[in-house]
Amino acid sequence: MTTIRNQTRSVSVGTATIGGPSPVTVQSMTNVPTHDIDKCLAQIAQLTDADCEIVRVAVPTADDTAALPQILKQIKIPLVADVHFHYERAIEAIEAGVAKIRLNPGNIKDRQQVERVIAACKANNTAIRVGVNEGSIVERKDKQQHSQEKQVSLVELMVDKMRDYVRIFEDNNFDQLVLSAKCHDAARTIAVNRAIAAQFDYPLHLGVTHAGDIQTGTIRSSAALGALLAEGIGNTVRVSLAGDPTYEVAVAWELLNSLGLRPRTRPEIIACPTCGRTEINLLEMLEQVKTALAPIRQPITVAVMGCVVNGPGEADDADVALCGGKDRAAIYCQGKHIITVPADQAVTALLEQVQIFLAEKKL
């Protein structure tokens, strides 16, 4: 799919760039205390290994910002400090050397405090994300109702809040801004981001806030971010999931890969859902294949199919494929039938072909 991207400014975030002609980047956030340096570093290492490109940490206390220099020394991806309520945490994080801070207009409102943060960012080449969350819009309490009209009002409140806050940065000649507006509702997230993309030329960080557990959050995030990205809106994404943050990274990459916005760097698995025609234990085989392919860092397409209805067709398009029959399976490589084996040898035979394919591709 070729999407015309919304034109935005470019913002440098350490070694990454958000906006302009740069590809959409993948972010995540740790869920351990930042002042627990070992745990924080271990989680950032896992996220980096999962191909997270920018990582955010919460800094609610001075102990958290005090840990930042140690953390920064030992990580390879840009670090963002998530600041709420206390502008002092922002100054401390900036001086520690983070690449970006996130400010919430809903809880750091004092203009003089914001201007002190802007001055520190200018002095240290630090970017700022202005992150408006629907939960931080206090005016919403006066407006709560359940009609469609009311939903539009909340969107307008969020855009107004963004405009008022951004004006402080523009008055201070600061343009290294990334904007975000998050709701827990996918439709509202789409509406508010469309409005912000139409009114500002700063890059957008997309996300659905408090999206839910891995299943619900994946669906809500895919609905909202997928719609916006397909329209060319959005320059960096964070899929928020209540769970292990490495899932957030995997979901974000699948979303960007599926939309053709980033090339695949890992195996793509195509699998049929199984049905009454399936005569092998396909779901168990699929899990074995997924586990075996997980360490591979090359873009290979592997199909795991239940029968001849769609199996040979998918095998034509895949690099390597398994197509089930009655208690046996046929193995294909680039559409060519290689061998038919008993079902209990099918995964081994498929993985052998994967290794052969990857070895030949390297030559």
Question: Binding of ligand SF4 at residue 274 (CB under 6 A)?
Answer: yes
Nearer to ligand SF4, 14 or 311 (CB): 311
Question: Binding of ligand SF4 at residue 307 (CB under 6 A)?
Answer: yes
Question: Binding of ligand SF4 at residue 277 (CB under 6 A)?
Answer: yes
Q: Could you tell me which stretch among 1-9, 46-54, 207-215, 273-281 binds ligand SF4 (CB under 6 A)?
A: 273-281
CB of 308 to ligand SF4, least distance (A): 7
Determine the Cα–Cα distance for residues 32 and 43; give it in Å rounded to an integer.
8
Nearer to ligand SF4, 20 or 313 (CB): 313
Nearer to ligand SF4, 276 or 295 (CB): 276
Question: Binding of ligand SF4 at residue 150 (CB under 6 A)?
Answer: no
Nearer to ligand SF4, 212 or 313 (CB): 313
Question: Binding of ligand SF4 at residue 305 (CB under 6 A)?
Answer: yes
Nearer to ligand SF4, 245 or 306 (CB): 306
CB of 307 to ligand SF4, least distance (A): 3
CB of 271 to ligand SF4, least distance (A): 9
Nearer to ligand SF4, 261 or 318 (CB): 318
Residue with tokens 């950032």: 44
**Residue numbers of the site for ligand SF4 (CB under 6 A)?**
272-275, 277-278, 305-307, 309-311
